[in-house]
Structure 1
Amino acid sequence: MTINPRKRIDELDSLRGIAALVVVLYHYTFRFEEKFGFTQITDHFNLPYGHYGVELFFVISGFVIFMSIEKINNPFKFLYKRFIRLYPTFWIGMIFSYIFITFFGPENLKVTPTEFLINFTMIPSFFNVSSVDGVYWTLKVEMFFYFIIFFDILFSVKKKYQIVGYLYIFLGILSFTLLRPTNYFFYGSLFLIGINFYKIWKDNASIHNHIQILLCLALTLFYSNFEFFYVTLTLLAIFYLLVYNKLFFLKIRPLLFLGNISYSLYLVHQNFGHTIQIELIHAGLENYILLLTIPLILSIIIASMITYFLEKPIISYLNTKHPWRFISIKK
């Protein structure tokens, strides 16, 4: 049976939109109170578990990466494609956030000019430097995953992903037995889950894909609480529905739109939105709905402008360049 012959999955874009929205609402409710002490919103509406939208992003990343590298045999082409997808938009969002916070933001959100320059690497924590915006931590996880895929392509083990997957799971069991479990290993298992779901969707799956998905779920039991287990179980349910074409009801324009601007929205929403919220409260606004919707709408406008007027044209232009051609790969 062919599960899904389509080349593009609209429902996946909708899931991106949902993930972005719940992360934004988490930051504008629970995280806002946690960072600044204001309870005007959380007294009425709170989303303390909205940060798990990031975990949904990681599973989606694992899924789409294997979709994108099917016809890529040059690892440097892969790195270039990932570079133009991540860095130009990141730089634009970071510059916007830095300028806005420097002039209008609270002191505890500001960074120095030196820290700002180091942020251009996308991995300021490696240099023990504060991020322009705290949400950038997830990009470090993404980059680490991309480098694993780079070496998979470089050493021609892409087609042996199942072996690599089992090795990762074995190392997880070993490390959890000997060491304290870390969240970063959990994030890696989410990428592996996404890869296996892609193979199921492509209809070239084996029983090993389902086994690895369930083993990744079992790994979460090594943690001190069951939150990761329930989150992963929820993600598995969502993606099993996805690959068997049961999420068609998600193909609605608002979610597809949010999915389209999700990267830019993720990059600019937090510190920008917090600053707007603080200024509105200082101006005497107490309506929690407006304290949520005003920064949300403004963030969506900014993200839309970045996506359609900068991100897409820049990526379209850079896609016409092929610098990897000058790097030969001898096998």
Structure 2
Amino acid sequence: MTKAAEENQTQPPAVPAADASTPPPGAPVSAFPGESGAPPSSPSKRLPRVESLTGLRWWAAFFVFCHHMTNLAPLPIFDFLKYGTSGVTFFFVLSGFVLTWSAQPGTKIRTFYRRRFARIFPLYILTLVAAFFVFYRVDPPAGMSWIKPVSVSVLVLSALLLHGWSNNPTILYGGNPAGWTLSVEAFFYAYFPFVWRATQKLKVAGGLILCVAVLVIGGAYRLALFHYKADIPVLPQPVLHSVAFLFGIGLAIALRSGWKPRIPVWFAFVVTGGGLWLLWYSGSHPTQVPGAVTMGLCQKEILTLLYGFLIFAVAARDIRGGRSLLRSKPLVALGQWSYAFYLVHATILYAIKEYHGIAGPIGWANLTWYAGVLVLSIFASAVLYKFVEHPMERLLRGPR
């Protein structure tokens, strides 16, 4: 399955608001839509780009890929790789962060919406068509649960990015299974211009209060849902994941306002990795970890905090001018291709699974399958970026 944009600014935020019709090379992209990370600017001053976020985004997409590959070639660390799904939480935090960081006063809302559409929709529709031939049949074969009967209503909802509002798995994961996250992102884009305008005057304290508030509200809802499920409705995915998006907005507000604590990036990686391990361990050995049940229920909020911490540390280092391997040309290129990679890798994987079946029993020998599917998916994403995603975005975004 992984994976944004700008608000009403000059270049699309997060899709940054820049005023250029195409984002500058190496600019970080927000979440799935991936835009440039060229920062906001006042008419006289432009914030520095946080290019390392582009390279970092690739690793989040790769984590999602590793999770999906367990359906074809399971590894001994199968249980831990299920946390690859958390890569989408990373994308949602990153989307709010980059959109806010690159937002520029003066961009019209309709301009923002047009640029977001140009960024995500052409490639999304193309990969939806490709996914149809892998995930749908008039008469689905037995024993292949991922292949579903053709449903015009589900496909239409998917094409309109409305399927994420249903918690029915058949609808939610309809069309291209990875597309549900784009449905969530579309909701973020719809309200971002209004959140941006409402929060422009917030400073460091306001941004951090927003971060704490959304985590508390999100965690409280999940705990209440667990204890009083009969009395509390289950919210749709776009609303639930708004916690991560708004958290990213709060972090960007704090950073824009001058809060740049010196957090070693290696330390941020250690904390994030350690947090993921603790979530896995507490879920596998709940009796050995105090508060394991609460941690499991509030997992999304914990992941939001962990990934937000990592994103903030990487962005702050870029602003200070520190060196970063994440800004290397190979990782920046992979980051630019990551949106296409996210949309096509599952389609490729399941096409192989249909004709070959499971690679074999659980074992490290299955890493050869990971390498092969990874190379094929990267090649496909590079081609899609060069010949579809990038040129279509330039065409539809309009003149500078």
Is TM (by shorter chain) over 0.5?
Answer: yes
Q: Equivalent of 2:241, from 176, 182, 187?
A: 187
How far the C-alpha of 1:263 sits from its partner, in A, is 1.0
Report the residue type matching 2:121 in the other structure: Y
Shift of 1:266: 0.9
Q: Secondary structure at the match of 2:49?
A: coil
SS in 1 for 2:104: coil
Match of 2:344 in 1: 268
Distance 2:370 2:377 in 1: 11
Letter in 2 for 1:195: I
Residue from 176, 182, 195 that aligns with 1:139 = 182
| CA distance in 1 between partners of 2:123 and 2:107 (Å) | 26
Q: Which amino acid aligns with 2:368?
A: L
State how far apart, in whole Å, the 2-side matches of 1:100 and 1:167 are: 42
Unaligned runs of 5+ in 2: 1-45, 227-234, 261-290
Equivalent of residue 112 in structure 1, options 134, 142, 150: 150
Superposition deviation, residue 6 in structure 1: 5.7
Query: Under a length normalisation based on structure 2, what TM-score does the superposition of the two structures give?
Result: 0.62
Same amino acid, percent of matched pairs: 24
Q: What is the aligned-residue RMSD (CA, Å)?
A: 3.8
Aligned to 1:42: 75
Return closer, same or farther for 1:166/1:107 CA change in 2, 3 Å cut-off. Answer: same
Alignment of 1:11-90 (within 5 A): 11-29=52-70, 32=71, 40-43=73-76, 47-90=81-124
**Deviates most, 9-18 or 179-188:** 179-188
- Number of residues paired by the alignment? 296
Does the 8 Å CA contact 1:41/1:291 hold for their aligned counterparts?
no
Residue 224 (structure 1) aligned with residue 265 (structure 2): no
Contact between 1:241 and 1:247, CA under 8 Å: does it hold in 2? no
Give the Cα separation in 2 of the matches to 1:190 and 1:250: 23
Residue 244, structure 1, aligned to residue 317, structure 2:
yes
Secondary structure at 1:15 match in 2? helix
Match of 1:199 among 253, 266, 269: 253
**Unpaired segments ≥5 residues, structure 1:** 33-37, 208-220, 323-331
SS across alignment from 1:131: coil
CA contact (8 A) 1:14 1:251 kept: yes
**In the alignment, which residue of structure 1 is the partner of 2:161?**
122
Give 1:112 shift.
1.2
- Residue 259 of structure 1 corresponds to 335
Q: Which residue of 2 aligns with 1:211?
A: none
Shift of residue 233, structure 1, vs aligned partner: 4.1
Structure 1 residue aligned with 2:374: 296
Higher relative contact order (CA 8 A, sep 6+): 1
* Equivalent pair of 1:261/1:304 in contact (CA under 8 Å): yes
8 Å CA contact 1:110–1:132 kept in 2: the answer is: no
The structure with the largest helix share of the pair is 1
The residue type paired with residue 198 of structure 1 is: A
The one-letter code matched in structure 2 to 1:231 is L
| Structure-to-structure mapping, 1:171-186, within 5 angstroms | 173=216, 176=220, 179-180=224-225
TM-score by length of 1: 0.74
